[in-house]
Amino acid sequence: MVQTREPITGKLCLVSGPMIGASGMLGVSMGEMLRVGSLGLIGEVIRINGDTVYAQVFEDTGGMMLGEPVTSLGYPLSVELGPGLLGGVFDGIQRPLEVLRAMSGDFIARGLTAPALDRAKKWGFTPTVKAGQKVVGGDVLGTVQETRAFMHRVLVPPNVSGVIKSVVEAGEYTVEQPVVVLEDGSELAMMQRWPVKRPRPVVRKLPANQPFITGQRVLDCIFPVALGGSAVVPGGFGTGKTVVEQTLSKYCNADIIVYVGCGERGNEMADVLDEFPALTDPKTGDSLMNRTILVVNTSNMPVAAREASVYSGITLAEYYRDQGFSVAIMADSSSRWAEALREISSRLEEMPGEEGYPTYLSARIAEFYERTGRAEVLGTVAEGEEPRQGSMTLVAAVSPAGGDFSEPVTQTSLRVAGGFWGLDASLAYRRHYPAINWSVSYTLYLETLKPWFRDNAPKGWLENRQRAMELLQRDAEMQEIVQLVGPDALQDAERLILETGKMVREVFLQQNAFSDNDAFSSLEKTGGLLETLLEFYDLSKNAIENGVTLNRIMALPVREDIARLRNESNADFAEKRATVCARMRTDVAASATKKG
């Protein structure tokens, strides 16, 4: 839990943008929270020199005078964990934005504090433990119906254990009311606190052998990532990072989504807040907002709170993982976090590393990514029961300067992430969305996921994936030749590769996130579409070998049917595909009989 110590008060001796210094603070430790100045702005200690501490402040420091009081709170930056987080919208330091709005209006005033969890709200708590029972960290004390479809498990904090002296009756309690008292007298409530920069412990990490299903064909089929894995999505502006993050938030197969809007646009958040409550969670049928937690620190909000926002987000995600759920955390954009680090580092006059970023950038990024994973979580395992498992998947957007992937944030992230979905401006300019460049992207999870796809995905999934990759590779080579000598230099069989490559790109890889029928592609539809395209290729190739010209095949009206197949809904797809495939077989065969 969060250690506490008596507060220490000193005096402000430096104000420089988001950084302050305070003297007379002997005894304060690194990472402690501060209240700065007469307004009581929130800060975090990042350097100590004798009795002077330096801190980053999560609010604008304008108007501060030297000599104003600075008080350390005796505990590090922490988040509140308990029922009431789902559906919530918080800033980088977990202040509930709706409450702040009620306090200060449409613009955020400084020095406001508000607890993340509503202290007055009562939750229906049903105990699952009895007096006399021995509990350890991670054990479930009871359950709370947090949203209509979501059963929250109230956990013993990780480093607490003991014998239960008393348990309350099932009933309505606030998050602070003790629900369990241990023999040693310690009281456990539904709410607990956890310092954001310390990973919550697990028993052990498990291999990533189940896929993170996204409903996006290019991701599920070509570059799948595992549940508990991590993917990095770099792309210049306008390539669709945010659309990818938002689409995954809507359709991925995680139980809980933590969406961290770190240093991005306010209007995008307005969009999410407008859209998500109206959408349905495909798993539960409840509102999508009820499986989502938003941590929002838009670009014009104080820079230091950006760093806090990603840590707050991942700690909330860990808490739900510990309950045994699969959680996806969307970080948009991790570059803004790195830039915040750079800004603070520069104020501290640290010797810069590459492109002005601090030398510890790669260590911070690696620590952060390594908090993800599928894990056996803490808690007593009863006789004959499987240990509880949870997972936390990270999809981190990166905004490289000038769209150049050689910059430090992209490169460092690539070293630790298992999936790389590189967004390409030239694809985006052609309105090829998602603009994931298939020739540079990769996934490291394919081997561990193969057994799952063999058992669960449509037949031929992995083989077709391999064939599609080869076809796209050949397509790219052919295009280079065409650029040099023109299409006439190619044989019909080679031009067929170009034509089929184009169909794979336009029908299979492209997906319209704004179309009701196409936004989410089921595994059956994804597999079926690819199978159809490859069958078309095989039939045509065969026909060409038998002397049919490519022009005749390209003129077949069934091509338009194939192109429109992706606009069929998941439900109608199989039936439509059967019709189109039948027509394709007869038409191609017919073209062969009347040689062209």
Partner 1 sequence: MTGNNQTPAEAPLRAEYWDLTYISGPLVFLKNGGRFPSGAILELTMANGEIRQGQVLEASTSHAVVQVLQGTQGVDVKGTSVSLKQEAATIGVSTALLGRRFNGTGVPIDGLPPAVVDKEMNINGAPMNPVARNKPNDFIETGVSAIDEFNTLVRGQKLPIFFGSGLPANEVANLIVQQARTRDASEQFVVVFGAMGITEREADYFMRSFDEGGQGGRVVAFINKANDPAIERVFTPRCALTVAEYLAYEMDYQVLVILTDMTSYCEALRQVSSAREEIPGRRGYPGYMYTDLSTIYERAGRIRGRKGSVTQMPMLTMPDDDITHPIPDLTGYITEGQIVLSRSLHRQGVFPPVDIIPCLSRLMNNGIGEGRTRGDHRQVANQLYSAYAQGLDIRKLMTIIGEDALSDMDKKFLKFAIKFERELIGQGWTRRTIDESLDASWKLLSLLPRAELTRIDTKYVDQYYQAEEETAATPVS
Using the rule CB under 8 A, is 105 a contact of partner 1?
yes
Q: Which residue's CB is nearer to partner 1, number 183 or number 404? A: 404
User: Which helix (H) or strand (E) element contains residue 253?
Assistant: none
User: Which helix (H) or strand (E) element contains residue 480?
Assistant: helix 461-485
Given a contact cutoff of 8 angstroms between Cβ atoms, the answer to whether 182 and 164 are in contact is: yes
Count interface residues toward partner 1 (CB under 8 A): 84
Please give the structure tokens belonging to residue 555: 């003129």
Nearest to 288 by CA among 321, 254, 317, 264: 254
Shortest gap between Cβ of 233 and partner 1 (angstroms)?
14
Given a contact cutoff of 8 angstroms between Cβ atoms, the answer to whether 523 and 458 are in contact is: yes
- Interacting positions 471-530 with partner 1 (CB under 8 A): 482-488, 506, 514
Using the rule CB under 8 A, is 356 a contact of partner 1?
yes
CA distance 33 to 39: 15
CA distance 62 to 69: 15
Phi–psi pair at 7, nearest 5 degrees: -65, 150
Given a contact cutoff of 8 angstroms between Cβ atoms, the answer to whether 87 and 147 are in contact is: yes
Q: Binding partner 1 by CB under 8 A: which of 269, 435, 498, 588?
A: 269
Using the rule CB under 8 A, is 61 a contact of partner 1?
yes
Phi–psi pair at 347, nearest 5 degrees: -65, -30
Nearest to 156 by CA among 133, 122, 124: 133
- Interacting positions 192-231 with partner 1 (CB under 8 A): none
Using the rule CB under 8 A, is 415 a contact of partner 1?
no
Using the rule CB under 8 A, is 577 a contact of partner 1?
no
Using the rule CB under 8 A, is 430 a contact of partner 1?
yes
Contact range with partner 1 by CB under 8 A, out of 141-149, 246-254, 423-431, 470-478: 423-431
Please name the residue ranges forming H helices in 161-303. 217, 241-251, 266-275
Using the rule CB under 8 A, is 359 a contact of partner 1?
no
Using the rule CB under 8 A, is 46 a contact of partner 1?
no
How many Cα neighbours within 13 Å face the side chain of 307? 24
Q: Binding partner 1 by CB under 8 A: which of 6, 274, 480, 516?
A: 274
Q: What is the Cα gyration radius of the chain? A: 27
Q: Binding partner 1 by CB under 8 A: which of 45, 81, 86, 97?
A: 97
Contact range with partner 1 by CB under 8 A, out of 156-164, 199-207, 429-437, 526-534: 429-437
Contact range with partner 1 by CB under 8 A, out of 142-150, 235-243, 319-327, 388-396: 235-243
- According to DSSP, the residues that pair with 36 across neighbouring strands are 41, 70
- Interacting positions 283-312 with partner 1 (CB under 8 A): 296, 298-303
Q: Which residue's CB is nearer to partner 1, number 100 or number 378? A: 100
Using the rule CB under 8 A, is 282 a contact of partner 1?
no
CA distance 175 to 275: 29
Q: Which residue's CB is nearer to partner 1, number 216 or number 297? A: 297
Shortest gap between Cβ of 238 and partner 1 (angstroms)?
5
- Interacting positions 385-404 with partner 1 (CB under 8 A): 399, 401-404
Using the rule CB under 8 A, is 447 a contact of partner 1?
no
Crossing angle for the helix pair 334-347 and 304-322, nearest 10 degrees? 130
Using the rule CB under 8 A, is 237 a contact of partner 1?
yes
